[in-house]
Amino acid sequence: MTPETIRIISQLRQEFYSLFATAMEVPVKITNRNSFAGNLSIASWVDSQQQLNYICIFAHTAPDELVPRRPLTLRLAVNKGGDVDAIVRQKKVGQELNQSWHFELTVLPEEILDFLPWIVSLIETYDTDSVSLVPEPPHPLESKLSITRLFQTIRTQKVGHKLSQQVLSQQECLTCLSSFQTRRFW
């Protein structure tokens, strides 16, 4: 990742976690870690069943030295990913890690804060089993969210569009390179 990308992710993560802690109706613990060591910063909370839950944000795709035009997309994961060993160490005696549901959402950096109230509503829906209360997402998703599924991975339509453009661009580059290589040897 480029230094600018690292700065953007760090800033968005910090802002999202802070706003998330304020929006949740239960205490939220924010743990900041060095993401270069593989330990992601997380926000964790205990639900009404006294299970430990967590949310983490990380780069799904990001520009780097080899592919500088790769789009930056962020993955927001609830109860999936992150440093699970560190999360388990945070739990209190008698408390379990919530493994009954997982959720992943891939967004563009400019979309992530718009999803904050929606994510909070989604978490509250899972906690209270009120599946009919999930509001419409702030940005169109590629597929319909199914609350009845235990695990869901979705992305916004804009992310899907950006990633498909990236694939097409890479295919064009490979075609040009292949054509160049063929001409060079003949």
Q: What confidence tens digit (pLDDT) does each residue in 75-97 have?
A: 999 998 766 666 666 666 667 88
Quote the pLDDT of residue 90.
65
- Judge contact between 106 and 60, C-beta under 8 A: yes
Quote the pLDDT of residue 173.
55
The β-bridge partners of 58 are: 75
Q: Does the model's pTM come out above 0.75?
A: yes
Res. 32: pLDDT tops 90: no
Res. 129: pLDDT tops 80: no
Closest CA to 102 of 157, 151, 32, 51: 151
3-state secondary structure the chain: CCHHHHHHHHHHHHHHHHHHHHHCCCCEEEECCCHHHCCCCEEEEECCCCEEEEEEEEEEECCCCCCCCCCCEEEEEECCCCCHHHHHHHCCCCCEECCCCEEEEEECCCCHHHHHHHHHHHHHHHHHCCHHHCCCCCCCECCCCCCCCCEEEEEEHHHHHHHHHHHHHHHHHHHHHHHHHHHHHC
Residue-wise burial string across 106-123, b where 16 or more C-beta atoms lie within 10 A, e elsewhere: bbbbebbeebbebbbbbb
For residues 126-130, give the mean pLDDT. Answer: 79
